Structure 1
């Protein structure tokens, strides 16, 4: 990596679009949001943002997908992973690299589902370390941007075991592939724009059809699935279900605590907290240290000029809507809807400005504090 490339560590820079193949379909709403003229649902329903993670897609191991790319000043592109490796402390911050080295410790996605995802679970950190020899599990959080009705069905999520579900009952449903029974074992929660959910490792869940959301998560692609056929009838290979650990071990990944729907909402649905309000706009905390120590997620609504204090760590920004600029001590960059921006720890005197008719709305994702 050249000295010129390492100089990007002193300023925010845009990331190239990065669509990733998945076992479910979607992406039409995502493409429209990104400005595509002929949007359609495909097998690429996810945009991976600031990703240093390679996707685990069974049957596509020969295709390396998932790593985010950066356009360099010389007209070439480079993986964000390589850029960070050229000077981890400058890009990620000293406190972060002291703990995680050149690992970002976070992954961000934009998801648009045209069908319900298969019911799944992600490992908590202890299970990931013991079974997958991974430093990270896959606790995640969702910020709902909106959605669409699919076949007359409004967006929803399935989340957490209902009262009465035991490991033995769950195993029976899995062995019989009683999909209706598995769906009925989970709480169904309608979602709307602005909703925030924390999905801890071990909690059964599925994103429903029509959901359009931003996901922040630990940086792995460890997903265990209990449905061997997708809702649209596509077979899910065994390896894609249990990730090589076998079905019995897969069932051990679930946390079998049960909750009423009120308890589930109270524990995992989060209310945004106003952190700052000034003449230039507002800043809200969506996921903070009181919710989890895995990552943080904020949002800003900029109506004028909104300065941001440097926190000594990097950030990942996604422009939800509006247009404007992001400025730093050495310059300014225009931004608009669906732009993805990496903000190195070395970027200082940051300020966001709105220049459109409406507010500039941005989601800001951060690694563990």
Structure 2
């Protein structure tokens, strides 16, 4: 008899990266966690890939989440996609979870980079998915926490090619909109949009399940232009870049400020993001029913309980990360707790 699928509490999963960070992840995971469950706090563990069925670009297994029974989550989902994802999701997306969630702690400013859309990824990487993403700010350390998104003015292709050839980082950064953020802010980053996260900003990142980053500012981060353009050459890679200008009105369509929202269930992201992923913040003033879905849960504050429709009860506390299969059914959440629920796009009825 096959055991029923249940929610699974996940340990940290921090593949080594090219930029510094990780102390905020370690502190977050250690808040109320049992001994041995803290994240890496070394210089180059700035990303925790939660419930990941995605690998680092060019790697076979690095980045994948391993379940307590020793299997990769990717293999478990492929063995029982209906149980993990639900029939409608499988009909729409096959055996892919269609989602990657990360904890990302920027110990330094990230380089200016962008990601391909689905069409570009299909043509050049043989992938069904590009890499649209969104950030939920959960913590900041610096006096002026900043993220960067979109060029302030429309730029011609030659100007950008010259900046890349000369590795003119100041010009690249100064050309972007600088956005001051605080916990509760969310920023949607469509594919193609140039962007960076500033030092001291700690986010939960939702994205399509790929690792396609095209990096304009590669010299002080990646060490080679090849890693910046992922083998495509910059003439090809730059075809995926959004060179258009984003004024304040246009930029406002990417941002939500949710720190003052007190509802028990709050949608966190702008409507345009919903065809790629969903995120809501759950604060159960009374026991809160949660519909069946494949989901990643990030416990951002407090302590509480998660009950499945099959009768299991799981304690939750600050810093926990969970993967929930569709087959766990309707859930009930209660306690003095705040949970970020991250999900793939809704499949059509």
Residue 273 (structure 1) shift:
11
CA gap 1:329/1:274 in 2 versus in 1, 3 angstroms: farther
Superposed CA deviations along residues 293-340 of structure 1, whole A, max 9, x for unmatched, are 111111111244222233xx3111111111111001221011111211
* CA distance 1:31–1:274, change in 2 (3 Å): closer
Q: Which runs of 4+ in 1 moved over 4 A?
A: 36-39, 271-277
- TM-score, normalized by length of structure 2? 0.91
1:366 equivalent in alignment to 2:343: yes
Gaps of 5+ in 1: none
Say whether residues 1:19 and 2:6 are aligned partners: no
Choose which of 287, 296, 299 in structure 2 pairs with 1:316.
296
Matches within 5 A, 1:64-75: 64-72=61-69
Check whether the contact 1:275–1:285 (CA below 8 A) recurs between aligned residues. no
Give the C-alpha shift of residue 269 in structure 1: 0.9
Match of 2:118 in 1: 125
- The equivalent residue for 1:191 is 181
1:278-297 aligned at under 5 Å gives the runs: 282-287=264-269, 289-297=271-279
Match of 1:104 among 59, 83, 97: 97
User: In 2, distance between residues paired with 1:156 and 1:275?
Assistant: 22
The alpha carbon displacement at 1:145 in A equals: 0.2
Q: What is the Cα deviation at residue 239 of structure 1?
A: 2.4
User: RMSD in angstroms over aligned alpha carbons?
Assistant: 2.2
Task: Find the counterpart in structure 2 of residue 300 from structure 1.
Answer: 282
Shift of 1:272: 4.6
**Matched residue SS, 1:138:** coil
TM-score normalized with structure 1 length: 0.86
Counterpart-to-counterpart distance in 2, 1:185 and 1:275 = 32
For residues 43-82 of structure 1, what are the structure 2 equivalents within 5 Å?
43-56=44-57, 61=59, 64-72=61-69, 77-82=70-75
Q: Deviations over 1:104-141 (max 9, x none)?
A: 01100000011011100000111111222210000000
Counterpart for residue 236 of structure 1? 223
Identify the range of structure 1 (245-254 vs 27-36) with the bigger mean alpha-carbon deviation: 27-36
User: How do 1:1-369 residues align onto structure 2 when only pairs under 5 Å count?
Assistant: 3-4=2-3, 7-8=4-5, 11-35=6-30, 40-56=41-57, 61=59, 64-72=61-69, 77-149=70-142, 154-230=144-220, 234-260=221-247, 262-272=248-258, 277=263, 282-287=264-269, 289-310=271-292, 313-330=293-310, 331-354=312-335, 359-369=336-346
Query: Offset at 1:142?
Result: 0.3
Provide the rounded CA distance (Å) in 2 between the counterparts of 1:212 and 1:198.
15
- Report the 3-state secondary structure (helix = DSSP H, G, I; strand = E; otherwise coil) of the residue aligned with 1:236: coil
Equivalenced residue count is 339
Gaps of at least 5 residues in structure 2 are: 31-36
Quick one: distance in 1 between partners of 2:148 and 2:330? 42
